[in-house]
Structure 1
Amino acid sequence: MSTIPTSADDAQQNRPLAGILFLVLACTVFPVQDVIIKSLSDTFAVHQIVFLRGVFALPLVAVIAHFDGGLRPFRIGPFFLQMARVTSAFSSYLFYYMALATLGMAETASITFSTPIFVTVFAMFFLGEKIGAFRWFAVILGLTGVVVIVQPGAGVFDPAAVLALLAAVTYAMSLILTRKIGNRAKGGSMTLFTLFVFVIYGGLLGLLFSNVEGSSPHPSFAFLYRAWIWPELWHWFLFAGLGCIAAIGFFSLAQAYRLAEASVVTPFEYTYLPWAILWGFLIFGTLPDMNTWIGLVMIVGAGLLIVFREASKGRKLVVRRGLGIMRQR
């Protein structure tokens, strides 16, 4: 789940090929991050991983921001609105990786790619946008795809699927809050602030669960309840790698949406999915079942319908910021 927000005052150029390449780079490195975190999920707590990833990523992102235009003035907009946005994003991050501890990479990603559907619905309630028949069709199509994957009421249902859905819902809310903040914040300032708060939240959860005895037999909840442990030497290299991936991914996302219109580059966010399927098979020996394939096609189709409809109508919520799915990582 990435955390790069963009603001209206971030300069945008018109270099579509460069923007696409940067987005594809981000969608290539973030699945590697997911592989590492899933591999660590039976040893470390999710909040410890969030904390250590942030510790390594913060200085790297600060250096990149310094050479990419600087951080002055440091502007995050209304503090309480910003904290609500970061808290929603952190919740999404937590839900996503808790789900990933149990589900396959492709299945988790497929469900969370329903984010644009919830952005569309929330925009109606919180931003006063009107949803026409075309976008309602996309919403219904995408939600049907989620139901096909999750299979509520079936014997194969896993509560981790609900966590993946909550990741999509909470991240959609963070995108709505980003829209409300608008040009009162700078993209680079918001990114550093988000990473910093993630580290604080991870540390607070570590303190909370250090005094909680016992664990859950379910892998997703054990990933949350587990107390911190001291990493071995090779673990430190993995955490440093997570920090580097975060920095590269954040920079690539920022460049992608700075260099090209979101309506051009956003469809390439879906290049994450082939990598998720490939790594899931090579590392964990899992492949999507037929229900996941069918639901995935429906969700991706709904997301693309929303993007192209937004672009044709000139709306800013998706056209400026894209789907926001990769920013979730």
Structure 2
Amino acid sequence: MERDTLRGSLLMALAMAAFAVEDMIIKSVAAAMPTGQVLILFGLGGMVIFAIMACAQGSALWHPGFCTRPLLWRFVAEVSGRLFFTLAIVLAPLSLASAILQATPLVVTAGAVVFFGESVGWRRWLAICVGFLGVLMILRPGLSGFEATSLLAVAGMLGFAGRDLATRAAPKTMSNAQLGLFGFAMLVIAGVILLSWTGGAVWPTVAQSGTLAAAVAVGVLAYMALTGAMRTGEISVVAPFRYTRLVFAMALGIAVFGERPDVMTLLGSALVVGSGIFTLLRNQRQKA
């Protein structure tokens, strides 16, 4: 069991590193072509890979569960989350957008109370409030350090939280490959919506095509590593490694884009991550 837990923790850290690299690549490519087009090409590449995986596993590309209410809600949430968070990492500092994204588990915990009737004690409610305080410290509404583009990250974070909540109600018969195919299809739809608004599609160069192919490969690796992590070892130990994404994102933001997170952003990030880890651990203790 300890070996499985170690493996799961390493897989989670690998997934978060890959997601951070994926965000970095998308931010870089979007400087040369419309963001909507980047989403479309990235989504199509992921769809092809997961379609091949589904066929190799003997799974159908279409599942009746795609038309159920939970998946339709997941559709709306996934599209909005992908759309707004991609805009956030393109227009706002990568480290800032990634810091706000770390509040997703807190929103999911609060949403589980509202939509699934789960019980949350006062300690976890306090942790949720502290986490949201950390988000406010990062955003700094009304202060000189406030960046309007950071609100895109908030909208994306809320979309991803809605996706996670809807996924819990998804049919259990759907394979990971089918869910992956569904998720990347949402990227395409989000890209079409954005590109129809902005226009300006360009023919990608060989270098840009290669970079996008690398982003697809990293994105699929991240998804598979995340799935493997959540199915290996003790979740109470593995899940907190999700927050390593912020470390990787800040490192890439500093090294690649020359970002310099200020003290308020770092303190707010610490509150968000700390409260999220406490909530996860407390939740697992309640189940034990």
Same fold (TM over 0.5): yes
Distance (Å, rounded) in 1 between the aligned partners of 2:227 and 2:36: 25
Distance (Å, rounded) in 1 between the aligned partners of 2:286 and 2:263: 35
Q: Which residue of 2 aligns with 1:19?
A: 8
SS at match of 1:77: helix
Query: Once superposed, what is the RMSD of the aligned Cα atoms?
Result: 2.2
1:149 shift after superposition? 0.7
Measured against aligned partners, the alpha-carbon deviations of 1:72-100 in whole angstroms (never above 9, x if no partner) come to 59646261421220221121111112111
Q: Which residue of 2 aligns with 1:322?
A: none
Runs ≥4 residues deviating over 6 A: none
Matching residue within 229, 234, 243 for 1:261: 234
User: Does 237-246 or 38-47 show the bigger shift?
Assistant: 38-47
Q: Which residue of 2 aligns with 1:127?
A: 116
1:305 counterpart = 2:256: no
Q: Tell me: CA distance 1:264–1:294, structure 2 relative to 1, closer, same or farther (3 Å).
A: same
Q: Which residue of 1 aligns with 2:141?
A: 152
Distance (Å, rounded) in 2 between the aligned partners of 1:313 and 1:78: 33
Q: Tell me: CA distance 1:145–1:226, structure 2 relative to 1, closer, same or farther (3 Å).
A: farther
SS at match of 1:159: coil
Question: Structure 2 length as normaliser, TM-score?
Answer: 0.91
Q: Which runs of 5+ in 1 are unaligned?
A: 1-13, 210-224, 316-329
Q: What residue identity is the alignment partner of 1:77?
A: G
Q: What residue identity is the alignment partner of 2:32?
A: T
1:169 shift after superposition? 1.2
1:115 counterpart = 2:104: yes
Q: Does the CA-based 8 Å contact 1:18-1:259 persist in structure 2?
A: yes
Matching residue within 131, 151, 155 for 1:162: 151
Question: Structure 1 length as normaliser, TM-score?
Answer: 0.80
Distance (Å, rounded) in 2 between the aligned partners of 1:16 and 1:70: 30
Write out aligned runs for 1:1-329 (5 A).
15-65=4-54, 69-71=57-59, 75=63, 77=65, 79=67, 80-206=69-195, 208-209=196-197, 225-314=198-287
1:33 shift after superposition? 1.4
Q: Tell me: CA distance 1:205–1:151, structure 2 relative to 1, closer, same or farther (3 Å).
A: closer
Sequence identity percentage: 29
SS at match of 1:130: coil
User: Does 70-79 or 100-109 show the bigger shift?
Assistant: 70-79
1:159 shift after superposition? 1.3
Distance (Å, rounded) in 2 between the aligned partners of 1:95 and 1:73: 27
Q: What residue identity is the alignment partner of 2:85?
A: Y
Q: What residue identity is the alignment partner of 1:270?
A: Y
